[in-house]
Amino acid sequence: MEYKFQVNLGGIIDLLSNHIYSSPQVFIRELLQNAVDAITARLHIEPAYAGRVSIELPAPYSAETPTLIFRDNGIGLTEEEIHSFLATIGQTSKRDDLAEGRSDYIGQFGIGLLSCFVVSDEIVVLTRSSGAGEDKTTEWRGHSDGTYSVRSVTHEMEAGTEVRLRCKPGSESYFAPEEVARLAHHYGSLLPYPIRLTTPQSTTLINEEEPPWKQEFAARELERDAYLDYGRKTFGMDFLDYVPLRSAVGDVRGVAFVLPHPMSIASRKTHRVYLKNMLLSEDAEGLLPDWAFFVKCVVNANDLRPTASRESFYEDEALQTTRESLGRCLRNYLVEMAESAPQRLKNLIALHYISIKALAAEDDEFFRIFVNWLPFETNMGTMTLTEYRKEHETVHYAHDMDQFRQIARVAASQSLCVVNAAYAYDLQLLLKFHELFPEALFQRVDANNLSHNFEFLTLNEQDELAEFMEAAEQVLRPLNCSVEVRKFSPPDLPALYTASSEESFRRSVETTKEVTNSFWSSVLDSLNERVMQEADGHLCFNYRNPLFYKVSRMQDERLQRLSIQVLYVQSLLLGHRPLTSKEMKLMNEGLLGLVEWGADIIEGGVQ
Amino acid sequence: MSASFEIERQVKELMSRSLQLPEGDEKIMILEEAVRLADTLDDVKLQYDAREAFIEAAYFGGIPEKALVAYAWCLAQYDRDPAGFWEWRILWRYKWMVNVICDFPQISREQIYEMLDDMERRFRSAGRGLKAIYKYRYRTERFFGNREEALRFYQLSEQSRRDDLTDCVACETDGKVAHQLYLGNDELALRLAEQLIRGRDKCRSVPHRTYSRLLVPLLRMGQREKAWDFHVRGYYMIARDRVMLDYLCDHFVFLSLYGDLESAARIFEKHYRWTEEVTNTYERFLFYRAAWLFLEKAEEAGMNALELQLPHSFPLYEAARSYDTARLKEWFKARAQQMAARFDARNGTDFFTKRLLDMQAIKELQQVSV
């Protein structure tokens, strides 16, 4: 014998109505959707008929229980349709049929009505089918405990559907006229059928204004004002500019507004999107290509699929093609501006250069046009590559921040302008430049090859320093650091410590091993194996530095050793390198030794 | 004093700047700098905070060995002063560490097991369940190719209760999909995957991974259309995410088997660069293996030369952008084989070499069924 589960309908309704919807306000959206679908359905049969929607907030029976009446003059329902649409919950096959088979409907009929239980314990639907010969008005009365009744009523009404809600205690704010007007406008401002709100005092048209992309303008200036005004009303922001958007795939129209402030790459790029003129989401992501984060959009799509949660568009090939076409609208806008309004483009780039760099990095043609405009950071200030190449034949660049910091100062004092290519897209752009303009000379510089260009000592000078070199090597060899003396600028720098990125990694391992237990130390050693052998620091003393000159000639061996230690540690600190405990010890030894020596001299002097 | 205050301010500024950046080198560099600066001060709390941010950036930016070093430091500080730091987070992130440690063949088997034991000890003494531990033991054994041990740990993990250190529900379900595929139950895996994709459970890597896993199985089941749909949706989700290189390789393999060699070539060009940027040997292995398959398919299709835009740094770089297919294939094949041998030597099995042969089997299977 088979039995069926007994389901507590009230509980299920509560669960569905309170949990499938993100907020109670959506009951207005669901009602609007049902109304629009009913109108669309009737238009298929009577193309000439004019659909309309009305919302009425009659004077309440009593102050505590306001009522809301929602009417459409759409296709209406017959009694059989009532049973199948309004009485079966969670019948997914029906939903799928509706979604796939009849793509011009937005909603899911009966399901949407459930959302009304969040604000009302009773839903009354009065409906009359618009079909020929259907003159019967039917009433469906549903309760949040899961029961409903259906009966014919004598009530005269035109074809269409009327939904009556009675406010449930605690939901009063959703029945306030201002709130209803706000929500109806929020979800339905683009709908092509008039929506009227009637209160005991007045009747107003909610969706009076057409979006600018549906309007015709006599002059460019009027168009501009209308768009920017629309942007201000929609987002409460004064935008720099606007770009009309259009995509044949997805049947998309809309506008992108240029943001008046810079955006970071990682921030969420959200847009206001409508599906068949009904608001789908205020913060839909993935509408535009990744690089296009300098705009905020409003678009309506008639031919894209929503996700199951109806919060954004479904990621499929249609959406991907749409994204490309919208990206092309923005790209054309920029290219056109480069030709016709360079000063405006300059202002735009000052704010949004990262976005434009991102596009240039993936689009060769665009890169060719824009490369002259894009700013790069160098150790001599921000400049474009064109400006750079006017002054310098070869483009020198450092590929990471660590290297750039190590060399910026020294390079500048040698009039070597170095691009810091550590920022997002910069390295990619430089490499692309190299590829597209093979005649341009590019050279990556790091601290090592920078010091290779330092001037060599003469043989005599080298002879002079023989003893010093021996002492320095003795101090530094145990620290995995090689030594050399060259001449370089600036003369106030006694020594330059340079290290490859492998060395930086080794150093981080070494300092970490000072605190980890033996197990983790062994893991770190294994990890480090690959780079251990070749990694070396390099200390280059500056022959032109007066202090170095004195140190190199010191007769007192101990004093010289201490001074070398201190110069070494100081050059590490200048490069922001963390000190290992060995180096810390060196510094302490060096400093204390020198202090002691100084004190001895003073004492000697006093004596 | 004021100098150290200034440095602290700089560290914090770098950390907040990093929040504005997507995962990638720039973010890693900025936080590396924050760590370096913090280390010049004697302020363990600041050093720890900077490293915590750095660990996440390095891990999700696809440079896990840097994350390991910083993690080792934090763990040591945590051991010195357990009350001073957040226990849950350091334990949670231990999972990241055991998740990537196998990818480095220079780490020995003993070290990997010891790390798992250490993690288990810590979970136990923190009063946590072992569901996550068993799961990572399962994954490790799977990685090594020890099927029986793997199945045993899977069982243990399934029998343990969820707690606050268990992976999120989306990851757990995705793990079930992976396991059913491992067992060869393609149909069941697909059913689970479709439930997951339809449902609400999501995280930063699921359902991205789920789509990838099912690409080849769907071809095997003859569901080409669904496979293509999964490819379109899944690839878009991970195309810019270097840490997903392993899953990108599934798409690369898929396109070669599906027969869209043009798209496969675009993936090859676009993502080859990542193999030079990451030091994770396992991910490089997967890419080289996929490239080998692609090149073999291209060769079979009579494409003796390929037009490819590869970086200057590629060892066989051609300025003219035209590459000899056979020569490229040999290059990737040789490297994939070397790496497989290296993993096998460490793992003490022949699983990786077998995986290369499997790749050939997949290819043959495809020829029969398409």
Tell me which residue of B23, B35, B26 sits closest to A505, measured CA to CA: B35
The pLDDT tens digits of the residues spanning B64-88 come to 999 999 999 999 999 999 999 999 9
Write the ipTM: 0.86
CA B326 to chain A, closest CA, distance in angstroms equals 25
Q: Is the Cβ pair A400, B25 closer than 8 Å? A: yes
Q: Does A583 share its domain with A554?
A: yes
- CATH value at residue A316: 3.30.230.80
In the DSSP assignment, the letter for residue A167 is E
Identify all chain B residues contacting A515, using CB atoms and an 8 Å cutoff. Answer: 73, 76-77, 80
Q: Are residues A540 and A602 in the same domain?
A: yes
Residues 6 or more apart from A349 whose CB is under 8 A from it? A356, A373, A374, A375
User: Are the beta carbons of A508 and B70 separated by less than 8 Å?
Assistant: yes
The answer to whether B233 and A315 are in contact (CB under 8 A) is yes
Q: Residues A253-265: pLDDT tens digits?
A: 999 999 999 888 8
Q: Which of A422, A451, A480 is the last residue of a domain?
A: A451
The predicted structure's pLDDT at residue A244:
96
Report the gap between the CA of B360 and the closest CA in chain A (Å).
31
Chain B residue numbers with beta carbons less than 8 Å from the beta carbon of A422 are: 25-26, 29
pTM of the model: 0.78
Q: What is the CATH number of the domain that holds A602?
A: 1.20.120.790
The answer to whether residue A509 is domain-embedded is: no
The arithmetic mean of pLDDT across residues A215-231, rounded, is 94
> CA-nearest residue of chain A to B270?
A362
Within 8 A of A522 by CB-CB distance, chain B residues are 111
Q: Is residue A197 part of a domain?
A: yes
Share of chain A above pLDDT 70, in %: 92
d(CA B351, CA A459): 61
Cα separation, A109 vs A95, in Å, equals 9
Closest-CA distance of chain B to residue A313, Å: 12
CA atoms within 13 A on the CB side of B158: 10
| Closest Cβ opposite residue A515 in set B76, B198, B312 | B76
Q: What is the mean pLDDT of residues A111-139?
A: 86
Amino acid at A6: Q
**Which 3 state secondary structure label does DSSP give A517?**
coil
Q: Rounded to 10 degrees, what is the CA torsion of A511, A517, A523, A526?
A: 60
The CATH number of the domain holding residue A181 is 3.30.565.10
Count other C-beta atoms under 10 Å from residue A606's C-beta. Answer: 6
Is residue A3 included in any domain, yes or no?
no
Q: Which residues of A435-471 are buried (b: 16+ CB within 10 A; e: fewer)?
A: beeeeeebebbbbbebbeebeebeeeeeeebeebeeb
Whether B283 shows a pLDDT value over 50: the answer reads yes
The answer to whether residues A335 and A406 belong to one domain is no
Nearest-by-Cβ selection for B76 from A290, A316, A520: A520
- Answer yes or no: is A396 within a domain: yes
Least confident range from A502-506, A509-513, B212-216, B292-296: namely A502-506
In a domain, A513, yes or no: no
For chain A, give the mean pLDDT: 86
pLDDT tens-digit readout, B305-361: 999 988 878 889 888 889 999 999 999 999 999 999 999 999 999 999 998 887 777
Lowest pLDDT segment from A86-95, A123-132, A315-324? A86-95
Q: Give chain A positions within 8 Å (CB) of B69.
A: 505, 508-509, 512, 524, 527
Q: How many CB pairs under 8 A join A and B?
A: 108
Whether residue A143 is contained in a domain is answered as yes
Amino acid at B315: P
For residue A11, the tally of other CB atoms under 10 A from its CB is: 11
pLDDT in tens, B156-196: 999 999 999 999 999 999 999 999 999 999 999 999 999 99
Task: Specify whether A186 is located in the same domain as A66.
Answer: yes
- Residues A415, A469 within the same domain: no
Helix (H, G, I), strand (E, B) or coil at A196: strand
**A142 three-state secondary structure:** strand
Please tell me the total count of domains within chain A: 4
For residue A348, tell me if it sits in a domain: no
Angstroms from B354 CA to nearest CA on chain A? 26
A58 in the same domain as A199: yes
A-chain CB neighbours of B311 within 8 Å are 431
Query: Is A246 strand, coil or helix?
Result: strand
Q: How far is CA A97 from its chain centroid?
A: 36
Same domain, A90 and A140: yes
Return the pLDDT at A91: 47
Of residues B267, B322, B321, B323, the one with CA closest to residue B294: B267
Is residue B49 scored above 90 in pLDDT?
yes
Contact (CB<8Å) B72/A524? yes
**CA distance linking residue A102 with residue A116, whole number of Å:** 24
CA distance B27 to A422: 10
How high is the pLDDT of residue B1? Answer: 44
A578 vs B contacts (CB less than 8 Å):
36, 39-40
**In chain A, what residues touch B118 (CB-CB under 8 Å)?**
519
* CA distance to partner chain A, nearest, from residue B24 (Å): 9
What pLDDT score was predicted for residue A367?
Answer: 93
Concatenate the DSSP letters of all residues of A350-398 into one string: HHHHHHHHHHHHH-HHHHHHHTTT-EEEEBTEEEEHHHHHHH-SEEEEE
Is the same domain home to A235 and A284?
A: yes
Whether A446 and A459 map to the same domain: the answer is: no
CA atoms of A56 and A469, how far apart (whole Å) = 95
Examine the domain organization and report whether A230 and A149 are in the same domain.
Answer: no
Q: Please tell me whether residue A166 adopts helix, strand or coil conformation.
A: strand
d(CA B362, CA B367): 9
Q: How confident is the model at residue A109 (pLDDT cuts 50, 70, 90)?
A: low
Mean pLDDT of A99-104: 45
Does the pLDDT at position A554 exceed 80?
Answer: yes
Q: Whole-angstrom Cα distance, residue A573 to residue A593?
A: 19
Looking at residue A101, what is its pLDDT? 40
Residue A90's SS3 state is: coil
Note down the domain range covering A394: 374-451
Q: Cα separation of A74 and A155, whole Å?
A: 18
Same domain, A273 and A243: yes
Cβ contact A46:A193 at 8 Å: no
Contact A354, A265 (CB under 8 A): yes
Residue A279 lies in a domain: yes
Peptide bond into A494 cis (omega under 30): no
Q: Do A556 and A418 share a structural domain?
A: no
Query: Taking the domains of chain B in order of start, what are their residue ranges?
Result: 241-370
